[in-house]
Structure 1
């Protein structure tokens, strides 16, 4: 069974015995891979774009197949709630933001993060050139997604004194920004800035990470049950994904681009090339020599503390259940210079 792309829109506490037993099955899994590929469905958080390119590249170049996996990518969009899909058993893993996973775990949901694509928050605000920093946006109209109200918006309120009255729903249409010189809109580093630049719209992009916002972007999240039952399969997924991402950003991007455009014909080759350059320029996946798909306790500590502070709840450490480092510690693929 070949991997396909669907066109439809240290902290975690795992039973050590069950995890090690699963990892011991890698040898057996190697023999099984020669017989039949194991199916996995990955539900993403947006339409097919360069920000998800490594996963598409891993499908297109056979990285998953070589690891004995038949991966189907189910692309998302503004009306798709990937967390609900995961909890409802409609997919095996999702792309999500760590803050949302921490919130889910604090609410008793059995989900866990096993790896992270980008080593920083890649979201920010597209603003007009007269806005120098995030603090200057206090009192300005800002368009944000529904998801943002549970992720970065509470941090912005607490850090810069924003009010909920400033925020309206972002429909992923840039025209309100064009016509209102006071407005800001949420943006991924390689998305809205591209559109503004190509249309000749003057702008400044303010990355949340530069202002101290702690997070990863596009993390891989699974159910706790799948992690406990099939850690060997998930490790192979991460290994293949790391290879796919390195190929896509630092090698031959053409197979990944072809798979992306087959899933999302609206994205252009020019946009994909521009986006890859931006992702490399900000060292989105980490510094040269760093591990692809990596995570660490320090960053998760910052994320967990931030979520508790912005939610106004006691930090009891329960957020540690939102992630595990057991798999990423076994990854070896490093980012080239």
Structure 2
């Protein structure tokens, strides 16, 4: 999908440093609310559930891109009333170019955000105390796409072009792990035109999107998932701040449980919710969303989620990612990993 370089989870060093230097602002354009007009202030009331007659707690979550299947469960929870049932007046604010969920949540303009695991670690290093409360993707959908039959191993990319966002943490890892010292790095712009015209090139992608685009254009491709190449990080992390979590654990729990319920609904009812996504983002095509929903299913519901449920996070995965970023010099030091994430608010399976 054109423009996905902005959301491509691996955050650049420049962006990481600027997180604490840049003041953030965000309008309400494109926001979707489950109970417009509720008068409670953000986080002011206890999430007690609509059935109790209590006033709904007004909260906002910022996603990491425009509405699409990677956000299907969040929009399912909104459309089916799960947030409202949990006592929440939810507004979903779509991400997009120039929208930083970490900055918006850190500033208090939203209570919850969505991002990648490495973004959480980098934000914390730069003084933004975010905490991951659920990982929607057990395997991050980031990958490297190439023309079919051209690569059997990523090391064979030496001597060829790779379209990639500058400073991407996943790429720094792959270069070191696969000794990619002879790759011609080209700026990723979101367009696949150069990749299509150059059969020996490769490009960063989301496996839920770009392979479908190539399929529609009659271009035979294959891809490696970054997770399977060794850069094991969670995708579409739901996060809040340490301060909000400590002050409003009941709201955090209500939010996480409703979100997980939404993802379980989306798994079997993606065709229904994709129409909701299309209303929010008219550029989406139902056929492309159907492809994305199918492609992402094993990445969300497989792995540890099979046993522990959607959103579960492993200490080994978090520690492994942190060590990789320290080894690369992207992180200065390793902090106690238990401060970075918690499974406390996930529903008991």
Does the CA contact (< 8 Å) of 2:73 and 2:266 recur in 1?
Answer: yes
The whole-number CA distance in structure 2 between the counterparts of 1:157 and 1:33 is 55
2:74 to 44, 55, 71: 55
Task: Normalising by structure 2, report the TM-score.
Answer: 0.81
Counterpart residue number, 2:18: none
Counterpart residue number, 1:152: 170
- Greater RCO (Cα-Cα under 8 Å, separation 6 or more): 1
Aligned-pair CA distance for 1:164? 9.7
Which stretch has the larger CA shift, 196-205 or 134-143?
134-143
The whole-number CA distance in structure 1 between the counterparts of 2:202 and 2:324 is 24
SS of aligned partner of 1:277? helix
1:105–1:42 distance in 2 versus 1, CA, 3 Å = same
Give unpaired runs (5+ residues) of structure 1: 10-24
Counterpart residue number, 2:202: 184
1:8–1:157 distance in 2 versus 1, CA, 3 Å = farther
Instruction: Count the aligned residue pairs.
Output: 307
Counterpart residue number, 2:185: 167
1:31–1:69 distance in 2 versus 1, CA, 3 Å = closer
Which stretch has the larger CA shift, 114-123 or 134-143?
134-143
Does the CA contact (< 8 Å) of 1:140 and 1:166 recur in 2?
Answer: yes
Aligned-pair CA distance for 1:55? 0.5
Counterpart residue number, 1:21: none
1:39–1:230 distance in 2 versus 1, CA, 3 Å = same
1:316–1:125 distance in 2 versus 1, CA, 3 Å = closer
Does the CA contact (< 8 Å) of 2:147 and 2:221 recur in 1?
Answer: yes
SS of aligned partner of 2:224? strand
The whole-number CA distance in structure 1 between the counterparts of 2:225 and 2:78 is 30
Aligned-pair CA distance for 1:220? 0.6
Give unpaired runs (5+ residues) of structure 2: 1-27, 33-44
Task: Normalising by structure 1, report the TM-score.
Answer: 0.83
Normalized per residue, the structure richer in helix is 1
Counterpart residue number, 1:208: 226
The whole-number CA distance in structure 1 between the counterparts of 2:266 and 2:31 is 23
The whole-number CA distance in structure 1 between the counterparts of 2:108 and 2:156 is 43
1:108 to 117, 121, 127: 127
SS of aligned partner of 1:214? coil
Does the CA contact (< 8 Å) of 2:60 and 2:90 recur in 1?
Answer: yes
The whole-number CA distance in structure 2 between the counterparts of 1:283 and 1:67 is 27
Counterpart residue number, 2:269: 252
Which stretch has the larger CA shift, 267-276 or 132-141?
132-141
Aligned-pair CA distance for 1:133? 2.5
Counterpart residue number, 1:7: 30
Does the CA contact (< 8 Å) of 2:157 and 2:183 recur in 1?
Answer: no
1:49–1:137 distance in 2 versus 1, CA, 3 Å = same
1:208–1:60 distance in 2 versus 1, CA, 3 Å = same
Aligned-pair CA distance for 1:222? 1.0
The whole-number CA distance in structure 2 between the counterparts of 1:185 and 1:33 is 52
| 2:114 is aligned with 1:95 | yes
1:301 to 296, 301, 319: 319
The whole-number CA distance in structure 2 between the counterparts of 1:189 and 1:304 is 24
Counterpart residue number, 1:124: 143
Aligned-pair CA distance for 1:268? 1.0
- Aligned Cα root-mean-square deviation (Å): 2.5
1:46 to 41, 65, 83: 65
1:263 to 280, 292, 298: 280
Q: Per-residue displacement from partner, 1:237-262 (whole Å, max 9, x unpaired)? A: 1111111111111x222442122101
SS of aligned partner of 1:117? strand
Counterpart residue number, 1:20: none
1:165–1:320 distance in 2 versus 1, CA, 3 Å = farther
SS of aligned partner of 1:211? coil
